[in-house]
Amino acid sequence: MSHPPESELIYDWNRAGGAVFPARGRVEIDDETLRDGLQSPSVKSPSIDRKLRILHLMDALGIDSADIGLPGAGPHVVQTVTRLAREITECGLKVRPNCAARTVSADIVPIVEISQKVGIPIEVSCFIGSSPIRQYAEDWDLDRMLRLSEDAVALAVKEGLPVMYVTEDTTRAHPDHIRRMYTAAIRAGAQRVCVCDTVGHATPDGVRNLIRFVVDLVAGLDPDVKVDWHGHQDRGLGITNALWALEAGAHRVHACALGIGERVGNTPMDQLLVNLQLLGWIDRDLTRLNEYCEAVSEATGVPIPENYPVVGRDAFRTGTGVHAAAIMKARKKGDDWLADRVYSGVPAAMVGRTQVIEVGPMSGLSNVQCWLENHGLEPRTELVDAIFQRAKESDRILTDEEILSVVQRFTPAVVGSGS
């Protein structure tokens, strides 16, 4: 059954003042799960097999690039990074690899060697602190930092590798220092600069101010150089800041599955993808998003909270009577599109999930009827009433087993038929 146009059913206040778009048009996405994300103090290090599975899921979601490690950390990381890079080439994955490196040759040389061994360009993400507070704590001299930056970028460029110059704590750095550091890196051959909110300091206004400053700076040095945004969640602004960065002129934004990472974590990749899709800024197949998040959860030992957006157990689950009734009425119209949106801001089907109606103390008769129909059982009045009464006596959602025990009293033959 067809429904009226979407514009007649949903008045979108998000676009009421005029649709907003990313300044660069095309949005690029970098996945930091397998490197920056693993700096969380609560994760366990995934096996190589689990990392390979996650890499394939990144590719399936259309993620553009992925940080696959910091080879300068030692031989064990070199081995892992080599295996991941080889998987990209042997399986023809579209996701492009990058590797983190401090601005020292000891970190860059292993990336060069892996790239040559595997036969694929690996973007070198050279990082160095940029804020006055960091410089003071480390006893760093700006002139020395500039020399290190120039030498590191030049070394990678000489070996034919693309370079992203990453300034840690950019959101608390002085504009004169940012100008001098980016100028040095770009003149040495960096093809990207990455603005980092390393401690989650920035507000949306701060993001806009900083990104516009960097965009103007880069345009005057080399218009072909791209700008990245890397945000953290300390103020809970990761998603919002990433969107503002794209509006202000960033080409690529970074994120991690489930928002894992140092302290309270990085921008959550799953929520970022969903928001970008709903805004119309990307067009990706997100039906394996749940699988991606579950794979990362299993690999790192980080549980997915039940109320976590989009991929949490409760994301598309309701036990409330009014909500269930609306969904049921939509289904009776034969309109899956309508049923998936009438009480959901994120369509479940978009991420490979379905709306689930449960039975509990907040439920109405519609919940019971829907549950029975979904389990192939006739919603007879006396059965519906009995389950409804059982739900009202409970302090939580009933399990399938509890509902079936009521069903058994009326139709014993269904016991064991399950769902």
pLDDT in tens, 290-327: 999 999 999 999 999 999 999 999 999 998 888 888 88
Minimal CA–CA distance to 190: which of 155, 217, 216, 220?
155
% of the chain residues with pLDDT over 90: 84
Task: State yes or no: pLDDT of 215 exceeds 50.
Answer: yes
The average confidence (pLDDT) of the chain is: 94
Place of tokens 């590719």: 59
What pLDDT, on a 0 to 100 scale, did the predictor assign at position 76? 95
What pLDDT, on a 0 to 100 scale, did the predictor assign at position 212? 98
Using an 8 Å Cβ cutoff, are 254 and 30 in contact?
yes
What pLDDT, on a 0 to 100 scale, did the predictor assign at position 184? 98
CB count within 10 Å of CB 174 equals 13
Tell me what the mean pLDDT of segment 93-122 comes to: 97
Task: State yes or no: pLDDT of 268 exceeds 70.
Answer: yes
Angle between helices 48-60 and 289-300 (to 10 degrees): 160
> Poorest-confidence range of 42-56, 201-215, 381-395?
381-395
Question: pTM of the predicted model, to two decimals?
Answer: 0.93
What pLDDT, on a 0 to 100 scale, did the predictor assign at position 419? 45
Place of tokens 């070199």: 78
Distance of CA 419 to the CA centre of its chain: 33
Gyration radius of the chain's alpha carbons: 25
pLDDT in tens, 26-61: 999 999 999 999 999 999 999 999 999 999 999 999
What pLDDT, on a 0 to 100 scale, did the predictor assign at position 1? 56
Task: State yes or no: pLDDT of 417 exceeds 60.
Answer: no
Residue 412 — pLDDT band, cuts 50, 70, 90? Answer: low
List, by residue range, all CATH 3.20.20.70 domains of the chain: 21-300
- Fold classification of 21-300 is TIM Barrel (3.20.20)
Using an 8 Å Cβ cutoff, are 231 and 242 in contact?
yes
pLDDT in tens, 337-360: 998 999 999 999 999 999 999 999
**Cα–Cα distance measured from residue 267 to residue 264, given in angstroms and rounded to the nearest whole number:** 10
Residue 413 — pLDDT band, cuts 50, 70, 90? Answer: low
Tell me what the mean pLDDT of segment 123-130 comes to: 96
What pLDDT, on a 0 to 100 scale, did the predictor assign at position 7? 78
Task: State yes or no: pLDDT of 254 exceeds 80.
Answer: yes
**Cα–Cα distance measured from residue 31 to residue 95, given in angstroms and rounded to the nearest whole number:** 10
Tell me what the mean pLDDT of segment 70-80 comes to: 97
What pLDDT, on a 0 to 100 scale, did the predictor assign at position 374? 86
Using an 8 Å Cβ cutoff, are 398 and 358 in contact?
yes
